[in-house]
Every structure is written in structure tokens, then in C-alpha cells.
Structure 1
């Protein structure tokens, strides 16, 4: 190889180091995806790339990113990209690189040194917009530059993939699952493993196992925040979350209706039994803004504040009302089209309120402060 070709080879490989794999979120040079780089006499560049699996859903995106990166290098001629597939041994090495050599997968968020903030978004009953709040908070946090994941723990009533605008299937590498990424948020849901709109008919132990797999087998990477969209109520999943991730904090979603607020209190009060921290309350559907500037309180008022005040008394620690999100038809449309309102209409009243809640949760530092130590205070 001539001196100029050698220099070009180095420049091309350096540029490939800036190509981020859409699923792994790591440079392709770091994860062993660059098979070979050859340069011909006319400075044409041929890059051979390993895919993790034959059915990799992002192959065309990878090709485009590689072509763009190589074309950006001064002095390159025609660019050609061909694909190969990792063998079993290479996939095992990749899994070890990403997850370590542990035989049994562990839940990274349950480890003593984990700095990921885990928020379990709970509600006492269905229909209060819990999933809508979850995906908007996730999208707003990701837009701030945080590394964010959403686990759709509502196994029976899953809706997160649609609201996040993804119908991608996870990729399996060895025993590791790579979650799809949408709006810069890693997303996993049982909907990604079922056909069409098939219902999930499982008993409690299977729900626990599914949640455990989503937490341990999925490659989440180094997250700043993980949001869990819990099913309504205080059943199996809420109990499993407290067992599998004791440090998870509870975010309660309610509506202004006092009857709904009483039910929401129960969802928050589970923290007394699980010794988890309640990070705050979000009141959704807090009023409909009318053209004349007035507000129509379709679902009453005061529910969110009541929940926050009563939970503050119950747990003996401040439980703030983080936000009151008004009714907005655009919020419904955003959920159906798969572009969260904080991205499609960030300056709308509802969008601003949701971003305010996300900002409050994002500004809390990563770390162990505020985590439950599993101690039972005397006299409780």
C-alpha cells in the first residue's frame, strides 16, 4: 500500500469510528462490526461491515451511515459497502463486550453501584393517561440529552410502541436483546414479541418472569433514566418492580376527579409496604382550555393536590405535585401518530407542562441519594 493510500486508510477508519450503530448506540469500530477496509488505485473505498444478525432491521441505515462517513473523508473516490453476518462466536464476544462474562444475566439497575434513576409510573385506575405521561417524559428527557429507556410493564394493556411511533422488533444477539430506539429512547414492550394485536393471557408468575427478562436480558446500556409504564392498580407487576428494583421511585398519575384521586392514593401508598420513595404526583386532564381563555374543568379539580398532600402525610416525606397537564386534543393525536407532544408541539400549554415535569425529574442528580435502604423505621 502506497503512503497516500495508507494515509487514506487511516483517515477512513478514523471516520468509521464516528459511525454509531443504531441499535447498540456504540461506534461500529468498538463493537467489531468493521470487517475490512480496502482502497483501490483510484482511491475507491470498499468497506465490509458485519451485521449482528441476518435479519438486522437497520441494515440500510447502517449502509447509509457508513457511506456518508467515508464520503466525508477528503480524497476518497467511489464508496462501496458490503455486508456480512457475525458468526456465533463473534456474537458471544460482542455480548461479553457489552454485558460482561456473567453466565446469568443480572439486572443492572438493582446493583449497588447503579446510578440510573428508575421511575415507576403508577396509577390507581386505567384511563388517566399514565402511558401518555410516560412517553412524553421520556421523549422530553431524551431531547435534553439524557440517555433514556422506557419499559412497557403494562403487559396486558401495552400501548407504548404505538405512542413512541415504532413497530420495530428487537434484535437478539446471543442471549442479549437489543431494544428498538425511537426518538432517541430505547423501548421494550411485550407488543414487540406478539403477532398483531394478540392479547396476552398470562398468570402472575409469567408476568414476573417477563419483567425480569426485560430488565436483565435487554441491553439498556448506560442509562441516565429508566421509566417503567406500570399497569393500573397495585397488583403483581407493582410488587415485582419493588422486588426486582428496590431503588425504583414511584411517580403517581391521577386526574382532578376526587374519586379518581382516592384510587390513585392507593397506588402511591404501596410505597409504605415496599419502602420505595414517591418522587411526586402528576395531575393529567386538569382542564380544557377554551378559545376565550377560560378553563373548563371537565373532570373536576383538586385531585392531584389532594393525592400529593395525603401521600405526604402517609409517608412522612414531601410528595410534590410536579405538574398539572391540561386536556389537549393534540395530545391524543400525538399518541396515535407516534410523535410525543413534547416533540410535535413543545410550546403548547400541555407540552410546556410535561416538559416542566421532565425538567424537574431530569435535574435530580444521578446517584444513590434518596434511594431506599430497605430499613424499617422504628414505630412504623
Structure 2
């Protein structure tokens, strides 16, 4: 699969996930297999304003190539300015635009998965991004729409082609579904039929390597985007490497091997943040994902999730039954949040005119990471 001039093999992309896909996690994943590994969401306004936290988040390891950044923005001028900074300063090799985030603090400002409903505003944002990207490929990730009554993905796909994007990715759920229910892979097939000119990547319910192969066979998509399936399981990318090369071998680590990965993850976070306290605290969210399916008591899980130092974390990991085998289906299945929402929070009168280009007041977030 090619995204602009970038060769991506296997055709696998790590989905941007707030608080997760920072440099340490990308390192763990890249060591397992090939593909394209995207940063956490970077807010366009914060980048243009040189926010120190945001500049620190655009951090790539020396061997990380290609470097991929996801931008969030609602104002075409601000998004264009952020892309110009990335291109002019050589901060990345690829820019992805976020039109898939369903969280209320984003959609209530008209951003993320709410924005493609405004067709002409979307067009202006894409045009500004491409115009300022120079040789960098620009892509976008989106959802099917706001809900089943307000589907936007086919229109958005055609606009992406017309404005010169290099690829589009579809999370085959609506915003109101959030991460609940089942992804509609048939929608990915419809999008591929609608935009044959550029690569289409499918996203949603890829929990194992076989799911990726089935999605591509069923939909005809050019590649896959993996999100929640790799939480606490960076070795999924080794499985994907093997599967796309025609192999059947899959990684089945013991609890001791998982524990070693947990410890290394925490150490990388400490190195990244330059603070043991910050790194260990940030690691806590990963504990439940790494231990999913294993027979580990609630007390042990709690102890691991409350460790206050690397030494303490190491001591508690050492108490786990290292020889316990991979639990199979219990660990291979869905992980992360999976509840649907009752409604999508939108700006007032957002649905009145799908061609309105007005940028909602206060639409641009001033901090990155979702």
C-alpha cells in the first residue's frame, strides 16, 4: 500500500489514541512488526501557538520512519497553519486529519466526527491542509457519520479525493455508537467502491490478525487501522506481519513475558517524560489491558495499578505467576470502552445546514492529546 510516496507494508496503521500512542507505545509496537504508526492527536491551534506540551508530544525516536502526526482542527486557517509548521520544520513525514473522534468535548465544538456533516467546511479544511503540506501526504480518518440519519462518509470520501488527499480511513461506526455495537464492514466496501482513486483503510473490530485479513477480503479495502485491539498487546503487530506474509504463527506470551513487556513500557514512559512519577502514573491505565484474560486476583491488579515507582512496580510484577500461559480467546477479544451513547453533543443548530462554513466560536482546542 502506498500513501503518497510512502510504502506501507504490511498495510497496517496504528490508530491515533489519546494518552496511548505516544513514543514509548509506538516503540513497543514498531519492534513487533511493520506498518505506519501514528502519534496521539495534536491540536492545530496548540501547534501554531507553540504550546510546550504539544511540541513535546511531537517526539519521535531517532529510528522512527516514517514519522506520522495526526492533527485535530476545525478552522481551515488554523489547520493550514499547523500543517505548514509541520512541513516547513520537518516535524513529520505524513499528516493525518482527525474527523473521527466521538468524545463530547470535541464534537460539541463541531470537531472530530461532527465536522464532516458540514461538507463545505470539511472541503476548506482539506484544501488548506493540502495546500500547506508541500510534498507530505495528507490523509484523514472519519466515521460513518453522526448517526444513521446523518451519514456523511461517502460525501466526505469524494471530497477527500477532489481535494487531493492521499488516503482515507473509515471507522465503520457512527459517532453515536461511540465504540459500542458491531462495526459495519459493509460501509467500508461501499466507500472503497465510491473512491477507487485512493487507498481506503478499514477500522473497527480488528481484535486479531485474522480479523484484518477477513476485513480486507470482505470489503476490498487497501489496508487496516488497528486501535483498541492492540491495547496491552503490542505483539498484535507481529501477528499481523506474519498473517500478511501468509504465515499462521501467532504470539502467545506467558504472563511472565507480558510482565516483562509491562516493565519495559513503564521504563520507556519514565524516560520519555523525564519523570519517574509521571511515567509510572501514566502507565497505570495500561495495567488492565495487559492483564486481560489472565487469572490475576483483584488485589494484585490493584497493587500493580497503584505502584508509585519503577522499583515498586517491578516487585509487584515479580509476584505474578510467570508461567501462566496465554489465556487465548479471553485475551484476544474486545478490549477498551465499548458503550454506545444516547446522543452526540453538537453545537447549537449544527444540523440545520450541512453546507454552512461558519466555524463555531471556541471550536479550536488549545491542548493536545484528546
TM-score with structure 1 setting the length: 0.33
The structure with more radius of gyration: 1
TM-score with structure 2 setting the length: 0.34
Higher strand share: 1
